[in-house]
Chains A and B, each alone.
Chain A
Amino acid sequence: MTTDQTGAKESGPSDLAQADFARDAGSSTLSDYVRDYISRVRGGEVGALPAVLGLIVLALIFSRASDRFLSVFNLANLVSQAGITVLIAMGLVFVLLLGEIDLAAGTASGACASIMGLALVNKGDLHKAFGTTVWVIVLLFLVAAIVIAVMSRLWIAVGIIALAGLMILTSVGTGNEIGAIYVAVSAGVGIGIMTGFLVSRIGIPSFVVTLALFLGWQGVLLQFIGTGSAISTSNFNLINNISNGNLPPLLGWILFVVVVGGYAAFTLWRSVQRRSEGLSADPVAVVLLRAGGLALVSGIGLFFLNQERSPNPATNSIKGAPYVLPIIIMLMIFWTFVLTKTRFGRYVYAVGGNAEAARRAGVDLRRIRTAAFAIGAGMAAFGGIVQASRLGSVPSDAGGGNTLLYAVAAAVIGGTSLFGGRGRARDAVIGGLVIAMIPNGLGLLPNLPSSANFMITMLVLLLAASVDALSRRRSAAS
């Protein structure tokens, strides 16, 4: 889409042919669509293309290097490994969309998971678990978060945190596994509200705020864990099953039909409907191809996940997709819906694209920023819970190390821009798979030192960031 072309059309006699938005119904044929897509990619809108290519290349390399890589056991392992990164990254997409960063998402996930662990181990009595001083401080923190959420008119966050605060105060429901998960996620939302306050109202750059909080939440985690070295969660079935339990194969296929069929039906209906109203829409062929591709890839994946992968099937049968997979898919659909169909989602993109323009249009920047951080930290808490499930405990370094960097890398590799304004919930899923595949595949290679793991991850991340920076320059130049 070069300026010369447009310039020629503006002045030339073709002007009249272009009148009344001749192309407004969108590209009507498949070949038009492909041509448009290629010109978009050349113009810098690469989307998820690099991540998908990376996924294919990595899969080819690893499957040649080790015959265990494509085994059914490893496939399931890969999914549950990727789960943690994907969930944290999905929340980070909101923060990154604003052009901000949340370096504390990793350690916040650990601190939140430890609250869940403590609540369960102490049968819901967080007062006893924390000791009075810490318990009071936690409650005061939640009250402060509620006040800030009220100031920012984030009523959903107010409700979530207030209910969790009441539960902690009265110890009602916190002993229940669902209740404990809820309290942990709400604590994440509270943490995000506080981060958002420091960034949007005090005006500290998010890099500095979250760098400080990165250290802070590590301390909080150690404080919560106390003298023990870890909080064991493996005795709690529901939590243990998130990562280690599997969806029964039949249920997996039902979910497959509902999700993929629902996607195909919805996109097809929208295309036909919009075209009949004379609005821009994707060609039906493209919609069908997309749905077909999705059905093929996810169908093959589910088929393998549904195979028996226990070394000893007679005594202990293991088959089906890990529960974390449907959780991720549901959250991805939910956040995609929020980003594309709600006013809030639109404002997130607007603030990330041009904050001044959004402000002049009447968007409350502080509200949007605070909400994005709250979503980021709330999703990070989900990631922490999945990690606790996978490890069977909340260790003293939960969410530390490279948890956060992997999550940021996942979002960026998936196509979310570090400069803000561009990104989708699905980026976290595709990027998370790429990021999880590297240590997974390298781990299967004999005689490969762990140093290679970090260095190869570095290369992949730098490559993704370069693609981001270059495509941005490209779209600015056109």
Chain B
Amino acid sequence: MVVASNPILSMTGINKSFGPVHVLHDIDFAVYPGEVTALVGDNGAGKTTLVKCVSGIYGVDSGEIRFNGEPVNVHGPRDAAALGIEVVYQDLALCDNLDIVQNMFLGREERRAGLLDEGLMERRSRDVLSSLSVRTVKSVRQVVSSLSGGQRQTVAIAKSVLWNSKVVLLDEPTAALGVAQTEQVLALVRRLADQGLGVVLISHNMNDVLQVSDRIATLYLGRLAAEVKAKDVTHAQVVELITTGRSGDIGLRPAEAAATTI
């Protein structure tokens, strides 16, 4: 486990409102290279909003986003992609009728003399999948519709690392998967971090979170309740943080938590 001192991506004092609804309150959130940071919270806690702020789909009302220590403005998904921030959404952005190679390079096809360079794309796809030790896919020329849920998730995640990305945000990658497939995807998430990427894992499943993550950031009604080391907390403590915003002496101060609930 790489212990990095400087975050690759850090957000300080992030506020975001939709009309009268104050969705994010002064969020401080950091992603470290080589670590899996889990982002947990109940429905409506603001997880997805925070991810969309990072990926440029929403602008922030106030607060600062730093990438590699430099303040950056992210105005759209393309800005985020240019920085090396990739998001793997819950509803996988794959085309069923295309094969794995075609999907991995969709929108960024390699070309030679103006024509698609299938050989190069096929080799690079295979290299990326091998570097992530993906063994479950028989051929990179299989169409996605013939893949299982876990294999699709694998392709979606592999696609995000094809572009020398630095930070990968995964929105509920294991939500629809069986036990064996969940294990594979979690192993893949771990390997992403071991390759030095900053990984953000959004999940509802506490077992997954405790198994794979290094840090756990808990959102409670739009506030950051706590950011803790995964090895310092128990399953019950995390659940308590999610449901009440505090657990023992970690989490929001009682007054703060009470103010939030109103």
Contact = CB atoms under 8 A, between A and B. Distances in A.
Interface in B1-53: none
Nearest to B99: A280
A280 B94 contact: no
Contacts of B262: none
Nearest to B129: A21
Interface in A401-434: 421-422
Nearest to B178: A7
B140 interface: yes
A451 interface: no
Given A9-B138, A43-B146, A358-B95, 20 more contacts: A3-B148, A10-B150, A16-B135, A18-B135, A24-B141, A279-B119, A279-B123, A343-B116, A346-B102, A346-B116, A349-B98, A350-B106, A354-B94, A354-B95, A357-B93, A357-B95, A360-B77, A360-B89, A421-B95, A475-B145
A277 interface: yes
Interface string A266-280: 000000001001011
Interface residues of A, number: 44
Contact of A21 (B103, B139, B145, B150): B139
Contacts of A279: 118-119, 122-123
21 contacts: A6-B148, A6-B151, A11-B180, A15-B135, A20-B130, A21-B126, A21-B137, A21-B139, A23-B139, A24-B140, A24-B141, A343-B109, A346-B116, A349-B95, A353-B98, A357-B93, A358-B95, A361-B106, A361-B108, A362-B78, A476-B145
Range class of the B interface residue count: 35 or more
Contacts of B102: 346, 349-350
Contact of A353 (B89, B95, B126, B137): B95
A421 B96 contact: yes
A350 B95 CA distance: 6
A21 B138 contact: yes
Contacts of B93: 354, 356-357, 360-361
Nearest to B123: A279
B184 interface: yes
Contact of A24 (B77, B109, B126, B180): B126
A246 to B, nearest CB: 35
A7 B97 CA distance: 22
Interface in B129-162: 129-130, 135-141, 143, 145-148, 150-151
B115 interface: yes
Interface string B55-78: 000000000000000000000011
Nearest to B107: A361
A363 B126 contact: no
A22 B139 CA distance: 8
Nearest to A351: B95
A26 interface: yes
Given A20-B130, A274-B119, A349 B97 contact: yes
